[in-house]
């Protein structure tokens, strides 16, 4: 039986507002304080430190006294609210694989390649290996995961196949980082290099999106795929930046990113805005866990890939040209290792501390919600995202760094859930929502918010990570390119050149082979 935490028939009286404020304050946890710091630094970057905190206090009081109570007066919560992600509420066909069906299974003592992680990236590596590796018993790939397939961030996200970050956004984050690692360049040269990084990223992401769609169509994968774009609202003060981002997209040919009018926003999403919004044309929605299950299903049928879940990797030991992968179930000797560990990377490889930054996001789902919200399209306000999947509504927010040891910890904040429900009301009007699921996950950011794809130790250990919450923009194409490198398929297009994507960019920037600046003639 459900116990409403706020009656859907109750108006937001003064007493109810007091109860809400008290409940929110009593429910604050350590992560709420971390998220508050992120909010302060993100929303008020131009203010002095005292000014930021003063503005945040007034904003918080307004949220707790007015906006959140008005929203919670039409919200009920299941008792208890499940922490199972929306995408994992149904049976996982790869649960406890292979032990559930074959309890006597044992890890192999040797494999040609060992992949650590069975999410988007691990599934992509397995799929491409199953398609292109030779039918040779000595050329197998073993995929290991400490949990089940898709149980990490790949099963806890928004459910979008994104093009990733648009060119202007990538250039901005890279430019900021270049000031620290490329002080030898002038400001104009860093600006040009940042644009080159952005274009390389976008071209790889566009191919990734097309490859995902082609694979789903060719394979007949059942993962609820629909390519109808992603709309991102922009407030009045963000309009100049939006116009500049569209101009740069046209200038560089990265024209997936454009601007649409409030009327077009309403038609595509049901969201009510008063200013132009950004629009990623080629983004798509899908069921992320089903996508992972489909990738592994194809790989396992090939006979070239083995999956072992609930098998934690504890360390990796290099012995000449081979590696020993130590796990909770035994040791595997291998010629290649590929780390598909994302936010867990610093726990396994301490040299990535402060270079791979575990970052918590969270989401919730439930029944009801606005009638006007459109399905099969990505929808983001300025501070939250929303989605309609059948009779369910999905919404979420946050991007706060957590300690390395908290990667993957499921610790959602009720304050953030309540805030995002208020954002839902802001864009779509009042509606009744019954919250049934609430969860968090961790993605990985790098200092320049740019991914790494390549060899991490100068030998045969690869990594694909640092995707800044845009894993579906990198994982499938990144997995393809790494598999091609291991198999020596040099004739295939490789969208992740070392000068841009190599991990040495983070691990040893002084020794990194940075790309040359394009000449003026080439830029024209």
Of 445, 470, 487, the position where a domain reaches its end is: 445
Structural domain contains residue 240: no
pLDDT category of residue 3 using cuts at 50, 70 and 90:
very low
Shared domain for 421 and 454, answered yes or no, is no
pLDDT for 131-163, tens place per residue? Answer: 999 999 999 999 999 999 999 999 999 999 998
Shared domain for 335 and 214, answered yes or no, is yes
Backbone angles phi and psi of 30, in degrees to 5 = -55, -40
Shared domain for 437 and 478, answered yes or no, is no
How confident is the model over 108-113, as a mean pLDDT? Answer: 98
CATH number at 350 reads 3.50.50.60
Of 428, 445, 462, the position where a domain reaches its end is: 445
H/E element, 442? strand 433-445
pLDDT for 455-468, tens place per residue? Answer: 999 999 999 999 99
Longest CA–CA separation in the chain, Å: 72
Helix (H, G, I), strand (E, B) or coil at 352: helix
Structural domain contains residue 77: yes
Tokens at 24, concatenated: 């929110």
Shared domain for 218 and 156, answered yes or no, is yes
Structural domain contains residue 331: yes
Structural domain contains residue 453: yes
pLDDT at 95 over 90: yes
Interatomic CA distance for residues 412 and 415, integer angstroms: 9
Is the omega angle on the peptide bond into residue 80 within 30 degrees of 0, that is, cis?
yes
* Ordered alpha helix ranges (H), 396-509: 414-428, 475-487, 498-501, 504-507
CATH number at 60 reads 3.30.9
Shared domain for 392 and 340, answered yes or no, is no
Shared domain for 418 and 289, answered yes or no, is no
Query: What's the number of domains the chain is made of?
Result: 2
Interatomic CA distance for residues 141 and 112, integer angstroms: 6
Shared domain for 361 and 431, answered yes or no, is yes
Shared domain for 364 and 327, answered yes or no, is no
pTM of the predicted structure, to 2 decimals:
0.94
Q: What sign has the CA pseudo-torsion 475, 476, 481, 487?
A: positive
pLDDT for 465-491, tens place per residue? Answer: 999 999 999 999 999 999 999 999 999
Of 415, 445, 475, the position where a domain reaches its end is: 445
Range of 387's domain?
A: 14-90+357-445
Helix crossing, 187-219 with 167-181: angle to 10°? 130
Shared domain for 337 and 454, answered yes or no, is yes
Tokens at 59, concatenated: 């904003």
pLDDT at 447 over 70: yes
- The 3-class SS string of 162-197 reads CCCCCHHHHHHHHHHHHHHHCCCCCHHHHHHHHHHH
Shared domain for 379 and 505, answered yes or no, is no
Structural domain contains residue 227: no
Structural domain contains residue 382: yes
Structural domain contains residue 86: yes
Q: How many CB atoms lie within 10 A of CB 90?
A: 11
Shared domain for 400 and 330, answered yes or no, is no
pLDDT for 68-89, tens place per residue? Answer: 899 999 999 999 999 999 999 9
Contact 395, 285 (CB under 8 A): no
Structural domain contains residue 79: yes
CA distances to 5, 347, 359, 364, 403 from 411, in Å: 19, 19, 12, 12, 13
Shared domain for 425 and 454, answered yes or no, is no
pLDDT for 229-253, tens place per residue? Answer: 999 999 999 999 999 999 999 999 9
């Amino acid at each position: 039986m459900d116990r409403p935490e706020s009656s859907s028939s109750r108006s937001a009286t003064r007493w109810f507002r007091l109860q809400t404020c008290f409940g929110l304050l009593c429910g604050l946890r350590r992560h709420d304080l971390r998220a508050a710091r992120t909010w302060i630094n993100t929303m008020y970057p131009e203010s002095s430190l005292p000014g930021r905190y003063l503005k945040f206090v007034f904003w918080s009081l307004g949220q707790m006294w007015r906006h959140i109570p008005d929203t919670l007066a039409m919200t009920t919560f299941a008792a208890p609210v499940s922490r199972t992600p929306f995408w994992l509420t149904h049976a996982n066909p790869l649960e406890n694989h292979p032990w559930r069906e074959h309890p006597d299974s044992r890890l192999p003592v040797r494999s040609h390649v060992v992949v650590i992680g069975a999410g988007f990236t691990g599934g992509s590596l397995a799929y491409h290996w199953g398609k292109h590796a030779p039918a040779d018993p000595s050329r197998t790939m073993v995929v290991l995961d400490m949990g089940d397939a898709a149980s990490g961030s790949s099963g806890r996200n928004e459910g979008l196949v994104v093009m990733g970050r648009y060119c202007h956004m990538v250039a901005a984050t890279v430019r900021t980082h270049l000031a620290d690692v490329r002080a030898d360049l002038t400001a104009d040269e860093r600006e040009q290099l940042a644009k080159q990084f952005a274009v390389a990223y976008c071209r790889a992401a566009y191919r990734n999106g097309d490859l995902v769609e082609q694979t789903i169509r060719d394979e007949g994968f059942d993962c609820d795929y629909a390519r109808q774009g992603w709309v991102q609202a922009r407030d009045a003060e963000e309009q100049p930046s939006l116009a500049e981002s569209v101009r740069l997209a046209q200038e560089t040919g990265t024209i997936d990113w454009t601007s649409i009018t409030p009327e077009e926003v309403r038609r595509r999403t049901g969201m009510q805005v008063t200013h132009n919004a950004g629009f990623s044309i080629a983004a798509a929605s899908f069921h992320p866990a089903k996508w992972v299950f489909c990738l592994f299903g194809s790989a396992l049928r090939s006979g070239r890939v083995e999956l072992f879940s609930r098998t934690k990797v504890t360390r990796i030991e290099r012995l000449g040209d081979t590696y020993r992968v130590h796990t909770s179930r035994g040791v595997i000797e291998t010629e290649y290792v590929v780390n598909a560990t994302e936010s867990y990377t610093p726990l396994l490889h301490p040299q990535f501390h402060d270079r791979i930054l575990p970052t918590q996001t969270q989401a919730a789902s439930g029944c009801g919600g606005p009638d006007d919200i459109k399905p099969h399209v990505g929808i983001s306000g300025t501070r939250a995202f929303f989605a309609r999947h059948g009779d369910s509504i999905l919404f979420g927010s946050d991007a706060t760094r957590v300690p390395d040891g908290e990667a993957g910890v499921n610790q959602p904040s009720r304050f953030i859930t309540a805030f995002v429900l208020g954002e839902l009301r802001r864009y779509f009007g009042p509606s009744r929502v019954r919250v049934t699921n609430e969860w968090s996950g961790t993605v990985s950011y790098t200092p320049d918010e740019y991914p790494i794809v390549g060899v991490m130790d100068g030998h045969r250990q690869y990594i694909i990570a640092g995707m800044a919450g845009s894993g579906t923009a990198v994982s499938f194409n990144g997995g393809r390119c790494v598999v091609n490198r291991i198999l020596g398929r040099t004739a295939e297009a490789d969208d992740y050149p070392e000068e841009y994507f190599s991990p040495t960019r983070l691990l040893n920037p002084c020794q990194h082979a940075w790309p040359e600046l394009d000449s003026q003639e080439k830029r024209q």
